C-alpha cells in the first residue's frame, strides 16, 4: 500500500460516540464515517486520545475498531490507536487487531512512567519487532509526561516498519530537528491543529486533526492548498478555523469536540466516560461562537 497516500493531508482523530449509558453509539459512528468519506478525509484514527482509548476496556477497543472497519467498507483507511503505558499491553493490543484490516498502528509514548530516551527507544523497538504493520509514533508530552526527542525519533525511523510520527508538542522547531534525523520518505504529521499549517509549510506532510471531526471539508481543503503551495488561500481558511482550533482545547479533549459534534448534529449525545465530564456552559458559549466563525454553524 502507498502509505503516503493516506498519510498526507487531513487525517481525523475520530471521537468515539457514546450513548447516555457510555456504550458505543453505532448509528452515530456510521454517520461520522460517512461524513469523512464524503469530505474526502485521508484516513481515520480510531481509539486514539480523542477516541477516549484510556477509558475503554481492551475488548471494547477491538470491537470499536472492527465496527469502524465494517462501516468504512474499505472506502477510507482506518489507523488503530494501540498505545498503553505498558510495552507488553501495547503489544497485546496490537496482536489482537493486526489482522482486522487496519492499515497502520498509532502508538503513543507510554504515559505516567516517564521513561528515559533509551527506554522509549526500546519500547517502540519491541513493538516493532512484534508486528509487521506500519507504526506511527505519537509524541504528546502534555498528556504523557515524556517527550520523544528528535534523536530518538531518528533512531527509530531506521526500523523498517516505523514510517511516521504524529508530533503534537506544538513546538515547530522540532520539524527542522526531526527532518535532520530521518530519511526523506519518513512521514511527519502534526498533532496540533493550531500550528498544523505552519508545520506543513516547514516540511510536514499532514495533520491528525481534532478540528476535522466537525470541519472536515475545510481541513481537507486547507491541507490540499498547502500541499499545492497556495499558502495565501490556505491562510485565509486557517484564520476562519483558528478560533475553533483553540476553543476545542478550552477544556480537556475530547469534551469540547464531542459537544461540537453533538451541536452540529453529527452525533446524538455528547457523553464521555469519567473522569471526563461534559462541557461547561461557558465552554459551550465559546465553542458555539467558534463554530459560527468557522462557518460550521
The structural domains of the chain, with segments of one domain joined by +, span 3-228
| pLDDT, average across residues 71-97 | 95
Contact partners, residue 182, CB within 8 Å, separation at least 6: 153, 154, 157, 188
In 3D, which of 285, 228, 235, 232 has the Cα closest to residue 260? 285
Cα gap 214→212, rounded to integer Å: 5
Instruction: Give mean pLDDT, residues 111-130.
Output: 96
Per DSSP bridges, beta strands 43-46 and 9-13 are parallel
Indicate if 231 belongs to the active site.
no
Chain segment 200-223, per-residue pLDDT in tens: 999 999 999 999 999 999 999 999
Helix axes 26-39, 58-72, angle to 10 degrees: 50
- The active-site residue, picked from 6, 121, 166, 262, is 166
Question: At CA 209, angle to CA 9 and CA 74, rounded to 5?
Answer: 65
| Contact between 110 and 83 (Cβ < 8 Å) | yes
Asked about 111 being catalytic, the answer comes back as: no
Q: Does 50 appear as a known binding residue?
A: yes
Is 208 marked within a binding site? yes
pLDDT at 6: 87
In this prediction, residue 1 carries a pLDDT of 60
pLDDT (tens digit per residue) in 254-270: 999 999 999 999 999 99
Work out the angle between the directed axes of helices 216-227 and 231-247 (0-180°, nearest 10).
140
Mean residue pLDDT across the chain: 96
Out of 6, 138, 174, 262, pick the active-site residue.
138
Q: Which CATH superfamily is domain 3-228 in?
A: Aldolase class I (3.20.20.70)
pLDDT of 11 above 90 = yes
Amino acid at each position: 500500500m502507498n502509505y503516503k497516500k493516506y498519510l498526507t493531508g487531513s487525517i481525523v482523530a475520530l471521537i468515539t460516540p457514546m450513548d447516555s449509558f457510555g456504550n458505543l453509539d453505532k448509528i452515530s459512528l456510521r454517520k461520522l464515517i460517512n461524513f469523512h468519506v464524503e469530505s474526502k478525509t485521508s484516513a481515520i484514527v480510531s481509539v486514539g486520545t480523542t477516541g477516549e482509548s484510556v477509558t475503554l476496556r481492551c475488548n471494547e477497543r477491538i470491537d470499536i475498531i472492527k465496527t469502524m472497519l465494517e462501516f468504512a467498507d474499505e472506502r477510507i483507511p482506518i489507523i488503530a490507536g494501540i498505545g498503553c503505558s505498558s510495552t507488553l499491553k501495547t503489544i497485546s493490543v496490537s496482536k489482537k487487531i493486526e489482522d482486522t484490516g487496519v492499515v497502520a498502528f498509532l502508538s503513543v509514548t507510554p504515559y505516567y512512567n516517564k521513561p528515559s530516551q533509551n527506554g522509549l527507544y526500546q519500547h517502540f523497538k519491541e513493538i516493532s519487532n512484534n508486528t509487521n504493520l506500519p507504526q506511527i509514533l505519537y509524541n504528546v508530552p502534555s498528556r504523557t509526561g515524556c517527550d520523544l526527542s528528535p534523536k530518538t525519533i531518528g533512531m527509530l525511523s531506521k526500523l523498517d516498519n516505523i514510517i511516521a510520527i504524529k508530533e503534537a508538542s506544538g513546538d515547530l522547531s522540532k520539524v527542522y530537528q526531526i527532518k535532520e534525523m530521518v530519511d526523506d520518505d519518513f512521514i511527519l504529521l502534526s498533532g496540533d491543529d493550531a500550528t498544523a499549517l505552519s508545520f506543513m509549510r516547514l516540511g510536514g506532510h499532514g495533520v491528525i486533526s481534532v478540528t476535522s471531526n466537525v470541519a472536515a471539508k475545510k481541513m481537507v481543503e486547507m491541507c490540499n492548498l498547502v500541499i499545492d503551495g497556495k499558502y495565501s488561500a490556505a491562510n485565509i481558511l486557517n484564520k476562519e478555523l483558528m478560533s475553533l482550533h483553540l476553543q476545542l482545547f478550552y477544556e480537556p479533549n475530547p469534551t469540547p469536540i464531542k459537544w461540537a459534534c453533538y451541536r452540529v448534529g453529527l452525533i446524538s449525545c455528547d457523553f464521555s466516560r469519567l473522569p471526563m465530564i461534559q462541557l461547561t456552559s461557558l465552554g459551550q458559549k465559546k465553542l458555539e461562537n467558534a463554530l459560527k466563525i468557522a462557518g460550521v454553524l
